[in-house]
Each structure stands twice: as C-alpha cells, then as structure tokens.
Amino acid sequence: MEPTLSMAPPAKVARLQDEKVSPWVCAPSVKASRTGKNNSMQTILKPIIDNMKPGSQRGDEKDPISLATADASLTHIPPCPKAMEAIVRACLRKPHTTLYTHSFGTLEARRAIASYHSIPGYSSASPEDVIVTNGCSAALDLALSSILDPGTSLLVPNPGFPLYEEIAESHGATSIKYKLDPNNGWECDLNHLEAIMNTASRNGIRAMVVNNPSSHGAVFSKSHLCKLLDFAFKHKLLIISDEVYGEITFGSHQFHPLANVAAELGQRVPIVVTSGLSKQFLVPGWRLGWAVFHDNKWGSLREIREGAQRLSKLQHGVSHLMQSAIPSLLSPTTPGLSSWKKHLSTTLEKQAEVICSFLESCPGLEILCPPQGSMYAIVHLNFYRYSFGDEITNDVDFCQKLVQEENIFVLPGSSFGVPGTFRLAFSAKESTLEEAGTRISRFCNRYAKDKMNDGNNCKQS
C-alpha cells in the first residue's frame, strides 16, 4: 500500500485563512514621522497648482507661466561652459573619476573650495574643514544634523527657505523665526533678535541661520554683517551661512562672505558656510554642494566639525566625476569664467527690471525692496489702500484667482511665512516675463479698487 501524501490546503483556503489574520502596521521611525508632516507650503500650494492647465484646455488658450521657482525657467541661459568643459576633460583624461572617492570629497575639490572661501592674511580654511555634499540642501542637512538635538532650537530668517524648518523639525528641534525688514533692504531685525534672546527658552538655541544673498532678493551690506556677528558673539551663537547664490548680485550691491568678515573682525564667531554650484553656474541637476567649517580663535567648532565628518560617512561620498569640475570653476584664473559670471548677473538684473517695471505700475502691488541679487523678488499686496473685492481678501486668494484667470503661478507669501505678499522668480526669458507682467497688470486693473479715491483703480503716484 502506497503511503498517504500530505497535501497543502488549496490556495483559495489559504487566502481565506490569511484574511482572518489581524492586519499589522509597520511603524516608521520617529524622524520619518516628524519630517515634512507640518508642511504648510504644500497644503497651501496644492489647490493653486491643481488649477493650472495647458492653454489648449482653457477657453482663453492662455498657456501656463510658472514664476514660482527659478530652476525650471532657466532654459534660455546655457549652463556655464567651463563646467561642461571640465566634465568632458575629466571623462577623456581622468579615468579614475569613475571610482569611489572619500566621503568628505576629493582632495582636489576640497582644496579648491577651501581656497575659494579664504582670504590671505585673514581667513585660511583647509581641506580638512570642507565636506563635499549632494547639493547645498544636503550641506544644510549635514550641518544642522551635527548641531541639533530633540528639544533644541534654531533661529531661522522670516522670510526664509522652508527647508531650514523642515530639517530642524525632523530632528525634533524647534524653529524660532526672526524678522527681516522689507523697509530696510530685508535686513535682519536686530531688535527682534534681541527680544528672542531675552526669552526663557534662549538656552536651547544652538545656532542661527543667515541666508545671503537671499532667496527673496536681498544682499546684506558689510556693515550689517558686522552687526550680526556682534550679536552672535554677544550670545555665543554659531552661525550657519547659506551662501548658495554667492556672487549673483546687481548694481552696486556686493556679496561679502560672512566667514571672511568674521575673520577680519578677529575670528570671534564660528561660521559654517553652505554653498554649491547649482545657482551660480546653472547646474542644479548636478547636485554638488559643500559645507565649510570656519572655526573661531578658541576652537569652538572642533567637535561639531568632527561630528559632521562622521555623519558624512553614512553617504559614502558624492559623484567623483562631478567633483572634477570644482577646481576650475572656483579658480579666479580660469579664462573666460569671470566674464560669464558677470553676464549671468547682468542678464538676471535686466530680467528683474522687466518684470518689476510691470508690477510697480499695477494697482494694489508694492515692491518695498527691489531685487538686489539672486533670482527672486517679494511683492506686497496693499490691502490697506486697495480692495480686490470679496473673493480676494488675502495672498492665497490672490494667487489662486491669478491662476484661474490668467494661468500665472506665483508663490503666496503665506506658504513661506510672510502673509500679504507673493514671491516670483525673474529667471525666465524677457518675452515670458513681459507676457506674465501684462497678464498680472490686467488682473490687478480688473480687481484692485483704490479705497482712497472713490473706487478709481488707477494706481496713484
């Protein structure tokens, strides 16, 4: 007699048995749960973005124009040719760039970055003070990760870059916003900073973020940076200096690297500089940034720098090939580089003038601080003097209605901490900015009514 074989239950029976098992949830980490959970920007922007449609789907056939971000509209300006040449040379002549490199970055790249962020006789960063990262955002994350703990606090500018707050939140830290003054070139409000430091929670503040040139068009004077350094020294605050826009400045406005100013004043304040190639050389997709640790004369930054170096090892380094472009791009002797950078700033300045000339003549709009650099401007909505009707009572209403009627997308100020404003990028080509300016002007003239002139919608001089 043959032995009886043990047969598994039919698949259908097995599935029915599985359905009786209680479901379970795979719990995310605390850090993952904290990160981006309170992202008010995405909440505000989603219904606005959802209203954007191709011109073919609109009765008026107006094609969409997005002035919300700079990177997407820079296609008319080619990236720095010296960057391309450096990569081609590396591919043809440096086969070792296909290999892994140190987690801090290649020695050649770090030497170039250290030299670029130094002043002979004052500031002298070394390659050991530099960590190459996957873009400036990763440099910010690395720097803040080496500083923040749950329950600590970080001073961030308002308006500023929302990523500062998101990184702090992911570490269980709190962001404390300090005001920037639009009536004074968007400079840091030192009185507000002092008021913050006089509160009971000041002991938990680990650092202060300074963004210059800023993501809203401001460029700080050297005298203002000196005042910020005095403030930081008084309260023993480390400064994270986000300088990703670097030398993109207009007219008489000049970029002063904060660490260099600190060195000239006697190296009293430790500075961590974050920057990268993306904005200044128009290669955002290369994701190449760095953090430079400029210590003070007491060595206050040593343990934080060493901690950041340990954290960098978790990422196993940045593209060796991309790093090969850094030495020539940061060298003042590279032929043609200076003229290309000047051309970029001049082009952006002219584009800023084009769009601002339209907006300044629009009823209900004010530009309290015309762009001094970078690629953005903040525009105020003068609700005190002008009425935009019952449907537009705040900046979110304005931006949503502007998309619906003119298919123009700008960022409402409420999404980055400055209600009653909107931010736009002026990086698009002039013809696009002229079209956008015409539509915004038409929109404002349609809705804005001067409360002080019996409803006349002509802007007063």
Residues 121 and 233 in one domain: yes
- pLDDT at position 416 is 87
pLDDT in tens, 1-60: 555 555 555 656 556 565 666 677 888 888 888 887 666 667 777 777 777 788 888 888
Residues 367 and 287 in one domain: no
pLDDT in tens, 422-431: 999 999 999 9
Identify which of 189, 255, 200 has the alpha carbon closest to the alpha carbon of residue 222. 255
Total domains, the chain: 2
pLDDT in tens, 161-179: 999 999 999 999 999 999 9
Residues 124 and 253 in one domain: yes
The pLDDT of 287-315, averaged and rounded, is: 95
Could you list the residue range(s) of the whole structural domain that residue 383 is in?
40-69+338-450
Answer yes or no: is 456 within a domain. Answer: no
pLDDT band at residue 461, thresholds of 50, 70 and 90?
very low
Question: Which of 282, 300, 329 marks a domain boundary?
Answer: 329
The CATH number of whichever domain residue 204 belongs to comes to: 3.40.640.10
For residue 183, pLDDT over 80 is answered with yes
Answer yes or no: is 387 within a domain. Answer: yes
The vertex-340 CA angle with 221 and 115, nearest 5°, equals 60
Question: Which of 294, 329, 364 marks a domain boundary?
Answer: 329
Cα separation, 365 vs 424, in Å, equals 13
For residue 210, pLDDT over 70 is answered with yes
Cα separation, 273 vs 159, in Å, equals 20
Global pTM reads 0.89
Question: Which of 266, 299, 329 marks a domain boundary?
Answer: 329
Residues 321 and 417 in one domain: no
> Is the separation of the CB atoms in 208 and 237 below 8 Å?
yes
Main-chain dihedrals φ then ψ at residue 112, nearest 5 degrees: -65, -40
Residues 200 and 63 in one domain: no
The CATH number of whichever domain residue 445 belongs to comes to: 3.90.1150.10
Cα–Cα distance list, 84 to 90, 324, 340 (Å): 10, 11, 13
Main-chain dihedrals φ then ψ at residue 89, nearest 5 degrees: -60, -40
Cα–Cα distance list, 326 to 122, 243, 272, 348 (Å): 23, 16, 19, 23
For residue 458, pLDDT over 60 is answered with no
pLDDT in tens, 105-133: 999 999 999 999 998 766 679 999 999 99
Residues 151 and 127 in one domain: yes
Main-chain dihedrals φ then ψ at residue 17, nearest 5 degrees: -65, -40
For residue 72, pLDDT over 70 is answered with no
